[in-house]
């Protein structure tokens, strides 16, 4: 009997239920943010979500290049003092005007968000003190000269002091504290399901093309593609390379591609006196670590046919790489192209290094981190065999298991990737190939423990340079010094794809963000 | 009966403790959450800050003891990824999974039992052959593939039903559910069918076997001899006798469906707990994983208990022997 009454009530309620809100634009996104609090985590998913609703002191375009945002001018008064001029008349979503108080509050809260799994702390770590000069001027004193201060603090999302003071990350998820200056206003967030936003009339910049936007989180690749094909979403990101050709051939669907800043590389560990997974020709562990010899590293780089990898394994979804960051980022060294296959030269180098007949090694990779990672390591195995090394095994593991072992130095030769989220190569150079030093906090992801005094010096000179153009040149120079010794073997930069129904397109770029304000009508 | 209950309870507590130790050390052994949580350009200082705030610097036994102390006070820790209480994150998504599983279960019973009865009564006929062959397909085609086909046919080609998400939800008796709106029901249909397919095949087979075993028994012959109509024999007397195995299997299967509807939830982007657990395992979000497994274990214990209770309702013999 009870069941009947519930059924009857359900039938009743159906008739009074709210009508579904039709969004102007529905986006199917692969990854969801862990929080709406823009200062909670600086992983790509979260930043790519926060940018919908929150503004920053400087804006980044799709290729991460910076332009004035909420700050219009920044001048160095002396080596450790900066004056930051704020944009006049910027409105928050609640109608209040943004002032220096909000900026100071935001920067102060940055490293105080409790339990943040990926804090923005470094962005504000050089700040010694902040002072409000007037409503639109903030004076910042740094602990040491910090030429790139604006790039650092410019990455922090500015929140409203009035709305967010004393609030937790959860208050942002519910929308209570979600008051920003961005092009979209928060409407609702359902974890694991969707985020709904609405264009903000008082936005200081250009009004976006679409007013009501729903972002749905569809993690499964095939399901995301199907959602686009069935018309239930208008645009999807992270189109799997294997599906690109099919979507392109479909009527009414366009594919947009962009080179990403994620470099896939082969790490050759110089960490220990003996490299794990490296053997002599009889299969016994090799007594010395061959990867400590730059000639061996170069030889391996010369054995790899990057174009073949990109064409055959990724279906063209990559750009062969010879350094860390692609050409659109600052610090890219124009003359440093990818190594071309040269087996003879590789043989020569190996002979010089004392391995005329090569040596044995095992290759390791993740199998669920980026498209084709499991296949990539197989192909590398064959290429190294052709180059005269004895590949004794290839192993691909899930990323959550693999990453810990790779960082612990369990692998001698391993495939890894590194994404870019900054306008220049500086942070990547510093975390990946600067000498590992726990005290100084450098080389955090230098898993191979490459170390070159000359490079470290060149990098620190570059980081002290105040003139941005000059700094980029110095970064390129440091890159040249490092890559003369092949610190890692760069393979390729990924390409990323978006699929869109006819009539819309996205201005996508290296950041890989799928921002509603970048989606444009084409008709 | 009381002794039975107490024994059950003690067993349950032991199972929970053992599970928590296994899962806790297991997740600890898999990998380092910092590797996954931190952005690629994180500095050493940031790494240290995160390790400290998440309590990852302590040795494993210390971390476990801390967990147990908190758990005894009803606090299962905060998710590393979401920084919200783990149980809250899980319970928030549980209704979505429950309504999906419940719908799938109803579909499988409503379709499975009549078809099974039909096939059982007409064993060997063309109807029986057709139903049985169909059920083999339900079993053997991978759940994942079935889901993709449903989407391809009903969403992409025909455009009848939406393929992702939960749609508009409304509230019935204070619970947010898809049953409350037409849009929600439309979203529910495809994933529920996907989840129900294998289940239906199972119910068909169980019912058919039961009917075939029961029909030749003496009491059916006596019933016929007394002149009871065939439908009444089938739907009352036979049904009563074949329900026990069906209830057992369905009970356990319901638990599995709730806990591991992972494939369906992922394909249809259904915001339930199956999808949550996969994401959490990939991100090594230990508080979520541990709480989830403990909740699931508790759920299985409760379901088993309910199944036992149902037996005694269905079968007077069990009721008598228990007293």
What's the complex ipTM?
0.78
**Burial category of A464 from C-beta neighbours within 10 Å (exposed 0-12, middle 13-18, buried 19 and up):** middle
DSSP codes joined into one string, B214-276: HTTSHHHHHHHHTT--HHHIIIIIIHHHHHHHHHHHHHHHHHHHHHHTHHHHHHTT--SHHHH
Cross-chain Cβ contact B35/A14 below 8 Å:
no
Q: Which CATH architecture has domain A260-493?
A: Roll (3.10)
How far A193 CA sits from the closest chain B CA (Å)? 5
Interface test with A, best of B165, B287, B292 (most A CBs within 10 A): B165
Contact B111, B138 (CB under 8 A): no
Which candidate, A253, A335, A179, places its Cα nearest to that of A501? A253
Task: Judge whether A435 is closer than 8 Å to chain B, CB to CB.
Answer: no
CATH number, domain B86-322: 1.10.3720.10
Contact A233 B170 (CB under 8 A): no
User: What does chain B come to in residues?
Assistant: 323
- Residue closest to B184 by CA, chosen among B91, B100, B110, B108: B100
What is the spatial distance between Cα B9 and Cα A210, in angstroms, rounded to a whole number? 57
The 10s digit of each residue's pLDDT in A7-32 is 444 444 443 333 344 579 999 999 88
pLDDT at A403 over 50: yes
| Residue found under tokens 């692609």 | A326
Tens digits of residue pLDDT in A275-286: 999 999 988 999
| pLDDT, tens digit (0-9, with 9 covering 90-100), for A42-56 | 888 899 999 999 999
Contacts of A430 in chain B (CB under 8 A): 41
pLDDT in tens, A151-170: 889 999 999 999 999 998 88
How high is the pLDDT of residue B174? 66
CATH 3.40.190.10 occupies which residues in chain A? 2-217
Quick one: pLDDT band at residue A4, thresholds 50, 70, 90? very low
**Contacts of residue B152 in chain A, CB cutoff 8 Å?**
226
pLDDT at A517 over 60: yes
Tell me the count of A-B CB pairs closer than 8 A.
Answer: 194
DSSP at A442: B
Quote the pTM value. 0.82
Contacts of B159 in chain A (CB under 8 A): 230-231
- CA B245 to chain CA centroid, Å, is 18
Taking an 8 Å cut-off on Cβ atoms, the answer to whether A407 and B32 are in contact is yes
User: Binning pLDDT at 50, 70 and 90, where does residue A232 land?
Assistant: confident
Share of chain B above pLDDT 70, in %: 96
Q: Profile chain B (323 residues) by mean pLDDT over runs of 10 residues.
A: 75 87 86 82 81 85 87 86 88 87 90 89 84 85 86 84 77 71 84 89 89 85 84 82 82 79 85 86 89 87 80 70 56
Answer for the pair A33, A157: CB distance below 8 angstroms, yes or no. Answer: no
What are the chain B neighbours of A368 within 8 Å (beta carbons)?
A: 282
The total of other beta-carbon atoms located within 10 Å of residue A257's CB is 16
pLDDT tens column, B239-264: 888 888 888 888 888 887 887 688 88
Residues on chain A touching B281 (C-beta within 8 angstroms): 400
What confidence score (pLDDT) does residue B71 get? Answer: 84
Burial of A284 from C-beta contacts in 10 A (0-12 / 13-18 / 19+) = exposed
Say whether A14 and B271 touch across the interface (CB within 8 A). Answer: no
Rounded distance between C-alpha atoms, residue A398 and residue B264, angstroms: 21
Question: Which one of B54, B75, B83 makes the best mutation probe of the A interface by having the most chain A beta carbons within 10 Å?
Answer: B83
Give chain A positions within 8 Å (CB) of B272.
Answer: 192
- pLDDT score at B128: 85
Q: Which residue has the higher pLDDT, B40 or A119?
A: A119
Q: What is residue A423's three-state secondary structure? A: coil
Output DSSP code: residue B153. Answer: I
The residue assigned the tokens 């905060």 is: B78
Q: What is the pLDDT of residue A192?
A: 83
pLDDT over 70 percentage in chain A? 96
For residue A254 the two structure tokens come to: 């366009």
What are the residues whose beta carbons fall under 8 Å from the beta carbon of A344, sequence distance 6 or more? none
Contact: A404, B183; criterion CB under 8 Å: no
The H or E element spanning position A130 is: strand A127-134
Q: What is the distance in angstroms between the Cα of B24 and the nearest Cα belonging to chain A?
A: 15
Under an 8 A CB cutoff, do B39 and A42 touch?
Answer: yes
Enumerate the residues of chain A whose CB falls inside 8 A of the CB of residue B183.
Answer: 20
β-pair partners for A267: A414
Which 3 state secondary structure label does DSSP give A181? coil
Structure tokens at A77: 């008064």
A223/B38 touch (CB, cutoff 8 Å), yes or no = no
Mean pLDDT for A311-333 is 91
Which residue of B lies nearest to A429 if distances are taken between CA atoms? B41
In this prediction, residue B319 carries a pLDDT of 64
Nearest chain B residue to A407, by CA = B35
How close, in Å, is residue A43 to chain B by CA atoms?
5
pLDDT at A11: 44
Nearest to B269 by CA among B193, B195, B166: B166
Q: Does residue A433 contact residue A455 with C-beta atoms inside 8 Å?
A: yes
The answer to whether the beta carbons of residues A35 and A173 sit under 8 Å apart is yes
Is A231 in Cβ contact with B159 (below 8 Å)?
yes
Task: Say if residues A124 and A156 touch (Cβ distance below 8 Å).
Answer: yes
Q: For residue B42, list chain A residues with Cβ-Cβ distance below 8 A.
A: 118, 122, 431, 444-445
Least CB–CB distance from B269: residue in A18, A217, A427:
A217
3 state DSSP class of B315: coil
A contact residues 10-29, partner B, Cβ 8 Å cutoff: 10, 13-14, 17-18, 20, 28
Q: Is the pLDDT of residue A271 over 90?
A: yes
CATH of A2-217, picked from 3.40.190.10, 2.60.40.420, 3.30.2350.10, 3.40.50.300, is 3.40.190.10
- The pLDDT value recorded for residue B221 is 85
CB contact under 8 A, A399 and B78: no
Distance, CA of A105 to CA of A157 (rounded, Å): 11
Cα-flanking dihedrals φ and ψ of residue A500, to 5°? -135, 150
Question: Which pair of structure tokens corresponds to residue A260?
Answer: 């990403």
What pLDDT score was predicted for residue A1?
Answer: 39
How many Å lie between the alpha carbon of B168 and the closest alpha carbon of chain A?
6
Cβ of B269 and A44 within 8 Å?
Answer: no
A337/chain B closest Cα distance in angstroms: 24
pLDDT category of residue A3 using cuts at 50, 70 and 90? very low
User: Mind telling me how many Å the CA of A287 is from chain B's nearest CA?
Assistant: 29
Kindly report which listed range (A104-113, A186-195, B137-146) carries the lowest average pLDDT score. Answer: B137-146
- Taking an 8 Å cut-off on Cβ atoms, the answer to whether B54 and A117 are in contact is yes
Q: How far apart are CA A278 and CA A291, in angstroms?
A: 10
Give yes or no for a contact between B223 and B233, defined as CB atoms under 8 angstroms apart. yes
Q: What is the pLDDT of residue B227?
A: 83
């Amino acid at each position: 009997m009870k069941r009947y009454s519930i059924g009857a009530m359900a039938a009743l309620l159906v008739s009074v239920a709210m009508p579904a809100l039709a969004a102007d634009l529905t986006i199917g996104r692969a990854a969801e943010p862990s929080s709406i609090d823009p200062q909670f985590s600086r992983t790509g998913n979260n930043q790519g979500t926060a940018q919908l609703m929150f503004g920053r002191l400087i804006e980044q375009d799709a290729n991460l290049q910076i332009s004035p945002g909420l700050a219009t001018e920044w001048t160095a008064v002396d080596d450790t003092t900066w004056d930051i001029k704020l944009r006049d008349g910027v409105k928050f979503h609640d109608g209040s005007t943004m002032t220096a108080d909000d900026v100071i509050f935001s920067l102060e809260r940055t490293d105080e968000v409790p339990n943040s799994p990926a804090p923005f702390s470094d962005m504000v770590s050089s700040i010694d003190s902040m002072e409000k000069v007037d409503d639109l001027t903030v004076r910042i004193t740094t602990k040491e000269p910090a030429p790139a201060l604006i790039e650092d603090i410019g990455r922090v999302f500015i929140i409203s002091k009035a709305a967010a003071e004393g609030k937790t990350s959860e208050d942002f998820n519910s929308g209570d504290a979600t008051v920003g200056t961005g092009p979209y206003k928060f409407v609702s967030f359902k974890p694991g399901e969707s985020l709904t936003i609405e264009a903000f009339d008082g936005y200081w910049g250009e009004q976006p093309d679409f007013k009501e936007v729903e972002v749905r989180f569809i993690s499964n690749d095939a399901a995301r593609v199907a959602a686009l094909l069935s018309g239930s979403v208008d645009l999807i990101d992270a189109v799997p390379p294997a599906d690109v050709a099919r979507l392109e051939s479909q009527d009414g669907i366009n594919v947009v591609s962009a080179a990403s800043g994620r470099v896939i590389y082969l790490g050759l560990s110089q960490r220990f006196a003996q490299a794990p997974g490296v053997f002599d020709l009889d299969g016994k562990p090799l007594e010395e670590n061959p990867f400590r010899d730059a000639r061996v590293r170069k030889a391996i780089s010369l054995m790899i046919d990057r174009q073949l990898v990109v064409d055959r394994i990724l279906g063209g979804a990559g750009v062969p790489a010879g350094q860390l960051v692609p050409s659109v980022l600052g610090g890219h060294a124009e003359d440093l192209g990818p190594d071309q296959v040269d087996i003879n030269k590789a043989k020569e180098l190996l002979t010089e290094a004392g391995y005329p007949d090569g040596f044995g090694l095992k290759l390791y990779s993740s199998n669920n981190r980026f498209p084709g990672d499991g296949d990539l390591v197989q192909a590398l195995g064959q290429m190294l065999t052709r180059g005269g090394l004895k590949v004794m095994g290839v192993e691909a593991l899930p990323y959550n298991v693999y990453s810990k072992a790779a960082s612990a130095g369990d692998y001698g030769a391993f495939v890894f990737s590194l994404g870019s989220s900054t306008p220049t190569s500086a942070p990547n150079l510093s975390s990946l190939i600067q000498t590992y030093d726990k005290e100084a906090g450098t080389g955090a992801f230098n898993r191979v423990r490459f170390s070159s005094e000359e490079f470290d010096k060149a990098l620190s000179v570059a980081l002290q340079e105040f003139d941005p153009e000059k700094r980029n040149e110095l970064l390129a120079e440091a890159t040249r010094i490092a890559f003369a010794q092949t610190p890692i073997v760069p393979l390729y930069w990924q390409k990323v794809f978006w699929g869109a129904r006819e009539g819309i397109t996205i201005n996508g770029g290296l950041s890989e963000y799928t921002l509603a304000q970048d989606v444009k009508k084409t008709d | 009966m009381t002794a039975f209950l107490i024994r059950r309870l003690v067993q349950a507590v032991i199972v929970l403790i053992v599970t928590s130790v296994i899962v806790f050390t297991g997740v600890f052994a898999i990998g380092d959450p910092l590797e996954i949580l931190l952005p690629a350009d994180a500095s050493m200082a940031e790494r240290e800050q995160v390790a400290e705030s998440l309590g990852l610097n302590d040795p494993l036994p210390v971390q476990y003891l801390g967990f147990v102390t908190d758990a005894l006070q009803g606090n299962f820790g905060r998710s590393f990824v979401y920084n919200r209480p783990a149980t809250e994150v899980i319970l928030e998504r549980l209704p979505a999974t429950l309504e999906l599983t419940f719908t799938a279960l109803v579909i499988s019973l409503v379709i499975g039992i009549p078809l099974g009865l039909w096939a059982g009564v007409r064993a060997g006929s063309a109807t029986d052959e057709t139903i049985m062959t169909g059920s083999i397909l339900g079993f053997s085609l991978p759940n994942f593939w079935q889901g993709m086909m449903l989407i391809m046919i009903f969403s992409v080609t025909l455009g009848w039903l939406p393929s992702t998400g939960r749609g508009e939800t409304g509230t019935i008796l204070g619970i947010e559910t898809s049953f409350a709106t037409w849009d929600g029901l439309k979203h529910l249909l495809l994933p529920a069918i996907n989840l129900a397919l294998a289940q239906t095949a199972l119910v068909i087979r169980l019912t058919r076997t039961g009917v075939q075993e029961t029909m030749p028994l003496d009491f059916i012959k006596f019933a016929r001899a007394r002149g009871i109509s065939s439908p009444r024999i089938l739907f009352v007397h036979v049904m009563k006798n074949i329900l026990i195995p069906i209830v057992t299997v369905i009970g356990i299967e319901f638990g599995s469906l709730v806990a591991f509807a992972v494939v369906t939830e992922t394909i249809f982007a259904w915001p339930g707990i199956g999808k949550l657990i996969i994401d959490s395992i990939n991100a090594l979000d230990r508080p979520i994983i541990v709480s989830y497994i403990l909740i699931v274990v508790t759920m299985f214990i409760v379901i088993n208990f309910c199944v036992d209770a149902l037996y005694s309702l269905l079968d007077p013999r069990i009721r008598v022997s228990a007293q």
